Amino acid sequence: MNKIGGFAVKIATPPMGWNSWDCYGAGVTEEIVRQNADYMAEHLKQFGWEYVVVDIQWSAPNAKTHEYEPFADLCMDEYSRLIPAENRFPSSAGGKGFGPLAEYVHSLGLKFGIHIMRGIPRQAVHRNTKILGSDHTAREIAKTNSICAWNTDMYGVNPEKEGAKEYYESLFKLYAEWGVDFIKCDDIARELPHEESELILLSESLRGCGRKMILSLSPGPALPEKAELYKQTANMWRITDDFWDKWELLYQMFERCERWAGHSGAGHWPDADMLPVGAILQDYSPENRSAFSYEEQKVMMTLWSIFRSPLMIGSELTKLDEKTLSLLTNTDIIAMNKNSRYAHQVWRREVAGTEIVLWAAACSEGGLYAAVFNIGEAACDIEIPLTDLEVYEPVVCKELWTAEESKSENALKISLAPHDAAAYLLK
Amino acid sequence: MNKIGGFAVKIATPPMGWNSWDCYGAGVTEEIVRQNADYMAEHLKQFGWEYVVVDIQWSAPNAKTHEYEPFADLCMDEYSRLIPAENRFPSSAGGKGFGPLAEYVHSLGLKFGIHIMRGIPRQAVHRNTKILGSDHTAREIAKTNSICAWNTDMYGVNPEKEGAKEYYESLFKLYAEWGVDFIKCDDIARELPHEESELILLSESLRGCGRKMILSLSPGPALPEKAELYKQTANMWRITDDFWDKWELLYQMFERCERWAGHSGAGHWPDADMLPVGAILQDYSPENRSAFSYEEQKVMMTLWSIFRSPLMIGSELTKLDEKTLSLLTNTDIIAMNKNSRYAHQVWRREVAGTEIVLWAAACSEGGLYAAVFNIGEAACDIEIPLTDLEVYEPVVCKELWTAEESKSENALKISLAPHDAAAYLLK
Amino acid sequence: MNKIGGFAVKIATPPMGWNSWDCYGAGVTEEIVRQNADYMAEHLKQFGWEYVVVDIQWSAPNAKTHEYEPFADLCMDEYSRLIPAENRFPSSAGGKGFGPLAEYVHSLGLKFGIHIMRGIPRQAVHRNTKILGSDHTAREIAKTNSICAWNTDMYGVNPEKEGAKEYYESLFKLYAEWGVDFIKCDDIARELPHEESELILLSESLRGCGRKMILSLSPGPALPEKAELYKQTANMWRITDDFWDKWELLYQMFERCERWAGHSGAGHWPDADMLPVGAILQDYSPENRSAFSYEEQKVMMTLWSIFRSPLMIGSELTKLDEKTLSLLTNTDIIAMNKNSRYAHQVWRREVAGTEIVLWAAACSEGGLYAAVFNIGEAACDIEIPLTDLEVYEPVVCKELWTAEESKSENALKISLAPHDAAAYLLK
Amino acid sequence: MNKIGGFAVKIATPPMGWNSWDCYGAGVTEEIVRQNADYMAEHLKQFGWEYVVVDIQWSAPNAKTHEYEPFADLCMDEYSRLIPAENRFPSSAGGKGFGPLAEYVHSLGLKFGIHIMRGIPRQAVHRNTKILGSDHTAREIAKTNSICAWNTDMYGVNPEKEGAKEYYESLFKLYAEWGVDFIKCDDIARELPHEESELILLSESLRGCGRKMILSLSPGPALPEKAELYKQTANMWRITDDFWDKWELLYQMFERCERWAGHSGAGHWPDADMLPVGAILQDYSPENRSAFSYEEQKVMMTLWSIFRSPLMIGSELTKLDEKTLSLLTNTDIIAMNKNSRYAHQVWRREVAGTEIVLWAAACSEGGLYAAVFNIGEAACDIEIPLTDLEVYEPVVCKELWTAEESKSENALKISLAPHDAAAYLLK
């Protein structure tokens, strides 16, 4: 049993926002961030979208795509802390860091987030640079054989070394000064149990920094046996490796969500990852668009919402088409993401020649959510007995995508294409 | 994915009743069954208790204790079907089977159940006796190397053999004629996947017999990866090996219940096994009593009820003391067993020097159930923030064991002895 | 570590003989046994072949093929011991058992063996028959849930029960009276560790019976971690499930032999199973012949011989063709089977576009055996450096299949077809 | 199956020598190496001892003990190759590397070896230094997340990168110029399968360097399933983690040796690690001596010798006492190390209240080696039947430690203290 206290920030509903990874990889620039923030403020904010998150390697002057450059030289301050590359984030000039950009995002009524990697920069260790508030140096706190499997930027930090605590505290103090609201910390979620003590130190340091920040852990898949630890240290944690616009990955998410559903709660959400919709992979070509069909995107939005996953749009927002936009601004679906409670898979069966999944959840404003997914390869007309939902009398059902209301005597009657979904509020 | 249809009987709430195993092992007699049924009708029926179940080896004339006699000669009809031993169940004389006893139990407003073992009697196979409705014989349908690990009475039945279906149909036809309402089938729940096809055949045969009977599967632990199959074939299935009055077993049940909570639903309940309370092990000595403390019994009743386990009393009912009786007749707790929905463990943590577990569930009549368990070894005074339950405003709380109501501003304030529990309805 | 003593019979070289299984399954008759014994005495005895073994189910009057009849009625004496079916073994009439047949085989200068199953006959348990030399009965010593996975004849015997020792002693006393020289015991070699104590009891009983009998354990694969136990309890044990005339099985034998090579020794040999050569499966059709090519049979004989496997011919002997006969009567190869010591795989590599395996062994009469196998799919001309055999000077090499001698300066030069082998004695 | 060819150097007998690790850790100096070489030439050479090996971190100016300094600055040439620290190896001044020291060792009639770590120096990667014979740089060939678990000196080299081959070739070219005869390569033996391709590249580069060098792989335990690869790429490979003077480690070596015995051969030996005898751990205190008793050292020398492990003395040689020296200069034991063939464990049993292990091997000069170990905790008088060694007639036995000869009729009669051994040559 875990002994640590509940030190994660408490918020009531899962974060919603935009993240630069799916569209720009490691190469996003300040200009792009501002244009997406502007779009969000104008078109999405009223639906609940609020976080604008700069993803990985913002301190690398030459980062341009989804590929990482091994042993890249990074921008760093004298205290072993990475700072934005000025050529990519001009407003950071003069030691201002992300302060001006955060201020701009706040001015739009939105919140600002950044990506970090667990640990201390490799180059700080090799240059043996200083740690703010400590006589110890980078070399002394590095965990010598803890390095990320896919990126050379950092060494892990050994929490047992003197100076480790001061390093992490100095980091979050800096981010608090900048006005950061959201930290996506990488190379840490699936790195348990061996990096457990570093996660705890990091989480405690964040909590003590004096500013409320959401802590999001990557990459997945997180370890189910560590659920209690994630809940106590973080607000969200990835239950999957990077999720992209492939049906196979979406199909697999049903099993992941079933396993993790019981761990959603006040301020802590298993995270099914970003929504790869619209204009993604823009660093490779401005023509790129999500490979998911409209119906598959409904499947995704329905599952993410009843499951209460955080929602992070992967698209270049200014290129959103009407149909995709409609999926992201359906107020009933977004309400389900906020009000769903105790969501769980009721069953998953072969029915009528296809594979059907039924989820249910309580609605915190009364009534019952139900979601029906056709994840097989055949269209179907099916009836789900209300008793399967433990409903023993007629109810009024609202289908959330169509907004149609009807009275059900004893079954939900549904027609679904393959890779399609329906969502209901029963009252 | 499983292809079979939903063939289990649908009932709305978990069965409640009495079973002869904990007090009499394999040796219960008609006289004892009648005396317990009489007691139930008089003292327990009004609280929801209704099933009276005769456990294992009622066809063995010499069975007397919890020990099985290897290769015992059993009473059997000409069609390879076991029948009650007349010396133990006199009313069965003249080929009437359990008909007269079932009729008596029904006359009290109660329901009647029996235990069976998967398969066909060993002695039928060796005598190569007939199967009703088939030209095939016992020897032909036996699965030659499928025998129970702890009892020699039966061979498994091979569903691929002609005559297998007729055998199982003839069994349930007989039980329907007797008026049986509840079948506890043994040597089948943890025997998956190798006996999966026999479970399906047995379940289909029961469903087709023309009488509504609850199907309960033993022994546990059932296999989590087969949850969907249990839900479709049975009404309840054991999630544990035999549960007895030892704290260690009760402690372990928290993990089992957490794992299985998502699979409770309409007509299908993971089963935490009988309640070993009061006068148990009566076949060894009439002095024997449960080793559980009063508080431990509260822990058990609270967990079983919020989890919605079926409730089966193990005690000789006529010897129930007042305090134990009060635990079994608390109307709020029994209501929780019936009305709890979407129960799940919220967290399990070391708090205030002891180990605390928090469960929550929706109440189907409105509001929210919460249960707090102290499963550590120190007494504690703790406060559970209402936000942990995703309650963000003051609520009225009723503690179900004491019936005390109070208003909570932002936390549940609880004092618990070690091995103790509290249960709340929040509205 | 195992505490038991070395109770197996010591003989210097692996048994060679004939076994009825490959040609007649469970259905061999006395007439067939006599005709094969006659053939062996006349044509094979001078090459070292000496055991004539009657395989499974000689007590079943109706056994005819390789299929077992479930719950077959078997011939049994009053003491729960199986005896030959008189209709198949006429000389056993009048309670003489296998005595007359053994006597006949002995009169030819050969030795006589029988197959048995671990345990006590199922029908003895159900009839609860007597045990010679004990007041206990069959039912009392049966291990109730220990039955063979593929045959219904027996229950295991529980060595902890009184009467178990007397039962096994009475068995081997009977076989000693009959004049049996070789026991092939089935359902016991791969049944460890759960049937370990029964193996030990059986082995001790055999050893105490007053007659020297070889003990052979089946079926395989035996468990490598139990090698020490097999060595102490038995003379040979199967390292494979039934071996038949399929290249895939022969290919896999190389890995099995490599693993087990270190465990051959004085009186104890890992057993690669019968040689499915010549006229096999005669119970299905007299036309059936081995599917192995001549070269594949050379591969088999070479591997079995350098590895020192026992050699048991599976063919109906009277139908042996000249070419097959030549493989079984090559005196150099048979000498290798007797004189090979410390055999082991030297390497296994892809060489010259095919897969080559090199084995070496010391020759107990001086010199060094080497065997080269082409188990890939291409023909090859290769040179094996003598240094690979730790030979650092020129040697005289005799190829055993061709009897050609040559002097090697520094390499063995070999041409091999796919699925072919060569064997050498280097001096 | 492995496709690579046999590229390891072929020598006829296992290397024997001295290695600085057990006595000086990472801190050995030229002066110490010379004094041990002098001693070897004078007192040990005539018994077969010949290699003088400088162990780990000879390029670290500050290395002093068995502890490694994380991120230590190492001496390196302009081509990313580590060179000796001049302060510790003065003769290396002026770019001469280990040339002068090797020359000195050769002048004594001995051979010279060095330790290396797989990979390219960390500091070369961070400084992005050149690679001899290639336009590529250190940073480009580093395998970014392949670092040693216990030492920060190196990154692995990615064999798929251009420049990788040139780097390794430049390394061994340098060592050849120095006159190195023996390479102990670390962080590579148990690092399979993930570093398999680096091992192959390294081995091929060594083989192509134009000078015959022994390749020794560390650390252990090596992977049994990779035996064929070790045999083809190296001359010796560690079958154990670091071996020290603890009985428990010696006890465990019996199982390791049994598993690996079949893989000793011409030029390739499983390596049971250094002999921690005499004055070891001298970097901590000149008073330190091996904790093994004299008899335990006999056990070790007997096992290592019949098994044909390489023999590397761990002691400061100049401090060897007479008794230890006698163990290292027993000509019969050393002859067994050279002449043993096909060694294997015959059995391991509880005999006479203690645990006895019997090994046997052929002697390449005729006759048979046998070794008997008492690895239990009681003294014993035992008789080993000659038939256990497959000897069926009387033999002359020479016990190698006492040099006593006797004739054995049918058994070896042996008295052994606990943790003691005897070794025999039977003719």
**Touching chains, A (3+ CB pairs < 8 A):** B, D
What is the mean predicted confidence (pLDDT) over C141-159? 95
Probe site for chain D from C342, C368, C427 (most D CB atoms < 10 A): C342
With a cut of 70, say whether residue A293 has pLDDT above it: yes
Chain B residues with beta carbon closer than 8 angstroms to that of C144: 70-71, 147, 152
Task: Kindly indicate the confidence band of residue C365, based on its pLDDT and cuts at 50, 70 and 90.
Answer: confident
Residue D78: Cβ within 10 Å count = 9
Average pLDDT value for chain D: 94
Choice between C122 and B393, residue whose per-residue pLDDT is larger: C122
A70, A122, A145 member nearest D148 (Cβ): A145
With a cut of 50, say whether residue A275 has pLDDT above it: yes
Lowest mean pLDDT segment, chosen from B119-128, C196-205, D384-393: D384-393
Q: Is C417 exposed, middle or buried (0-12, 13-18, 19+ CB in 10 A)?
A: middle
Residue type, A162: E
Distances in whole angstroms, Cα of residue C248 to Cα of each of A372, B376, B400, C251, C303: 49, 58, 68, 5, 15
Distance CA C56, CA C27 (A): 8
Q: What is the pLDDT of residue A229?
A: 95
Quick one: tokens of B179? Answer: 């008026």
Query: Locate tokens 């199959």: which residue?
Result: B229
Chain A residues with beta carbon closer than 8 angstroms to that of D145: 147-150, 152
Q: What is the pLDDT of residue B12?
A: 81
- Asked if D390's CB is within 8 angstroms of C12's CB, the reply is yes
Query: Locate tokens 């050149």: which residue?
Result: D130
Q: What is the pTM of this model?
A: 0.89
Q: What is the pLDDT of residue C11?
A: 57
Instruction: Count the alpha carbons within 13 Å of C179 in the hemisphere toward its beta carbon.
Output: 18
Residue type, D1: M
Q: Is D148 on the interface with A (CB under 8 A)?
A: yes
Distance CA A85, CA A97 (A): 9
With a cut of 80, say whether residue D207 has pLDDT above it: yes
Distance CA A400, CA A332 (A): 6
Quick one: tokens of D270? Answer: 């499983």
Instruction: Dump pLDDT digits (tens) for C16-69.
Output: 999 999 999 999 999 999 999 999 999 999 999 999 999 999 999 999 999 998
With a cut of 90, say whether residue D118 has pLDDT above it: yes
- Asked if C71's CB is within 8 angstroms of B128's CB, the reply is yes
Task: Name the helix (H) or strand (E) containing C357.
Answer: strand C354-363
Torsion of CA B142, B143, B149, B153, to 10 degrees: 0
Q: Is D66 exposed, middle or buried (0-12, 13-18, 19+ CB in 10 A)?
A: middle
Task: Kindly indicate the confidence band of residue C151, based on its pLDDT and cuts at 50, 70 and 90.
Answer: very high
Q: What 8-state DSSP symbol labels residue D82?
A: B
Distance CA A263, CA A235 (A): 11
Residue C29 three-state SS: coil
Q: What is the pLDDT of residue A365?
A: 86
Q: Please, where are the H alpha helices in A329-408? A: 331-339
With a cut of 70, say whether residue D9 has pLDDT above it: no
Instruction: Dump pLDDT digits (tens) for B344-395.
Output: 999 999 988 999 999 999 998 888 999 999 999 999 999 999 989 998 889 9
Task: Kindly indicate the confidence band of residue B11, based on its pLDDT and cuts at 50, 70 and 90.
Answer: low
- Asked if B390's CB is within 8 angstroms of A364's CB, the reply is yes
Phi, psi for residue D324 in degrees, rounded to 5: -65, -40
Distance CA B44, CA B39 (A): 7
With a CB cutoff of 8 Å and minimum separation 6, the contacts of B35 are B317, B318
Q: Closest approach of chain C CAs to the CA of D272, in angstroms?
A: 19
Q: What is the pLDDT of residue D383?
A: 94
Q: What is the pLDDT of residue A4?
A: 27
Q: Is A73 on the interface with D (CB under 8 A)?
A: no
Q: What is the pLDDT of residue B427?
A: 87
What is the mean predicted confidence (pLDDT) over A383-387? 92
Chain D residues with beta carbon closer than 8 angstroms to that of C345: 262
With a cut of 90, say whether residue B190 has pLDDT above it: yes
Q: Percentage of chain C with pLDDT > 70?
A: 97
**Beta D236-238 vs D214-217: how paired, if at all?**
parallel
Residue B295: Cβ within 10 Å count = 15
Q: What is the pLDDT of residue A302?
A: 98
Task: Kindly indicate the confidence band of residue B7, based on its pLDDT and cuts at 50, 70 and 90.
Answer: very low
Instruction: Dump pLDDT digits (tens) for A84-127.
Output: 999 999 999 999 999 999 999 999 999 999 999 999 999 999 99
Q: Closest approach of chain A CAs to the CA of B257, in angstroms?
A: 12
Pick the residue from chain A with its C-alpha nearest to B342. Answer: A342
Helices C331-339, C294-307: inter-axial angle, 10-degree rounding:
30
With a CB cutoff of 8 Å and minimum separation 6, the contacts of B80 are B120, B121, B124, B129, B130, B131, B138, B167
Lowest mean pLDDT segment, chosen from B247-256, B319-328, C191-200, C387-396: C387-396
Q: Closest approach of chain A CAs to the CA of B259, in angstroms?
A: 9
Distance CA A2, CA B355 (A): 10
Q: Percentage of chain A with pLDDT > 90?
A: 91
Lowest mean pLDDT segment, chosen from A3-12, A71-80, B165-174: A3-12
Q: What 8-state DSSP symbol labels residue C152?
A: -
With a cut of 80, say whether residue C333 has pLDDT above it: yes
How far, in whole angstroms, is CA C19 from its chain's centroid?
Answer: 8
Instruction: Dump pLDDT digits (tens) for D61-116.
Output: 999 999 998 999 999 999 999 999 999 999 999 999 999 999 999 999 999 999 99
Distance CA B186, CA B219 (A): 6
Q: What is the pLDDT of residue D8?
A: 38
A128, A142, A149 member nearest D145 (Cβ): A149
Q: Is C284 on the interface with D (CB under 8 A)?
A: no
Instruction: Dump pLDDT digits (tens) for A136-157.
Output: 999 999 999 899 999 999 999 9
- Asked if D145's CB is within 8 angstroms of A145's CB, the reply is no
Distances in whole angstroms, Cα of residue C32 to Cα of each of C315, C318, C410: 12, 10, 52
Q: What is the pLDDT of residue C2?
A: 25
Task: Kindly indicate the confidence band of residue A5, based on its pLDDT and cuts at 50, 70 and 90.
Answer: very low
Quick one: tokens of B4? Answer: 């079979």
**Beta B236-238 vs B214-217: how paired, if at all?**
parallel
What is the mean predicted confidence (pLDDT) over C209-225? 96
**Touching chains, B (3+ CB pairs < 8 A):** A, C
Chains C and B share 3 or more Cβ pairs within 8 Å: yes
Distances in whole angstroms, Cα of residue C18 to Cα of each of C23, C36, C111, C172: 10, 8, 10, 22
Phi, psi for residue C314 in degrees, rounded to 5: -95, -10
Distance CA A352, CA A417 (A): 12
CA-atom Rg of chain A in angstroms:
22
With a CB cutoff of 8 Å and minimum separation 6, the contacts of C341 are C361, C362, C363, C364, D342, D362, D390
- What b/e sequence results for D299-314 when a residue is b if at least 16 CB atoms lie within 10 Å of its CB, and e otherwise? bbbbbbbbbbbbbbbb
Average pLDDT value for chain B: 94
Lowest mean pLDDT segment, chosen from A301-305, A325-329, B43-47, B191-195: B191-195
Residue type, D413: K
Chain A residues with beta carbon closer than 8 angstroms to that of D70: 139, 142, 144
Quick one: tokens of A134? Answer: 């400590």
C1, C12, C348 member nearest D348 (Cβ): C1
Q: What is the pLDDT of residue A400?
A: 98
Q: Is A323 on the interface with B (CB under 8 A)?
A: no
Cβ D327 vs Cβ D301: under 8 Å: yes
Q: Is B136 on the interface with C (CB under 8 A)?
A: no
Pick the residue from chain A with its C-alpha nearest to B343. Answer: A342
**Touching chains, D (3+ CB pairs < 8 A):** A, C
Q: Closest approach of chain D CAs to the CA of C212, in angstroms?
A: 17
